[in-house]
Each structure stands twice: as C-alpha cells, then as structure tokens.
Amino acid sequence: MAKKPTARVEYAFFNVIYEDGSQRSNRKVSAEVMDAYDTDAAIRAAIEAQDKAISEKSGLPPLAIKSITPVK
C-alpha cells in the first residue's frame, strides 16, 4: 500500500551578523514567516527565537543581532 505524501515545508536561508562581529550562515526560517505583514520583523523574531532556544541549551546568553541578509 502506498504511503500518503507528507507536506513539504519550504525554508528561506539568511546570514546573521551579531554585534560582536561573529556570523552564522544559512539560518533557516520557515517560508510561512515570510507571509507576515512586517516580514523583516517576523524574520528577526524567528531567528531570535532560535537563538534563545540555542542559548538555553548551551547555557550562554544570546548575542544581539546586528544585521540579517538573505542568502542568494
């Protein structure tokens, strides 16, 4: 019996530069976030949420974001 196809989740990728000068490349953000009214704020909020989850696991404080640029 054939399996039902699963829903495909699309992502957009971003490079993030932090206030201390460090960079994280290819951060994934769901394409659903891109449908928001204020896209830039929604992308920043999604990446900040990822950073918060990472910082809770690592025990280090999250870094302040300086800029976010889409990967081309």
- Over the stretch 5-49, which tens digit does the pLDDT of each residue have? 877 878 999 999 999 999 999 999 998 888 878 899 999 999 999
pTM of the predicted structure, to 2 decimals: 0.82
Q: Which two tokens stand for residue 31?
A: 């394409």
- Do residues 24 and 13 lie in contact, with contact meaning Cβ atoms separated by under 8 Å? no
Query: CB neighbours of 72 closer than 8 A, spacing ≥ 6?
Result: none
Q: Which two tokens stand for residue 15?
A: 């490079």
pLDDT tops 80 at residue 54: yes
Rounded to 5°, angle at Cα 47 from 45 and 65: 90
Q: Which two tokens stand for residue 55?
A: 């910082």
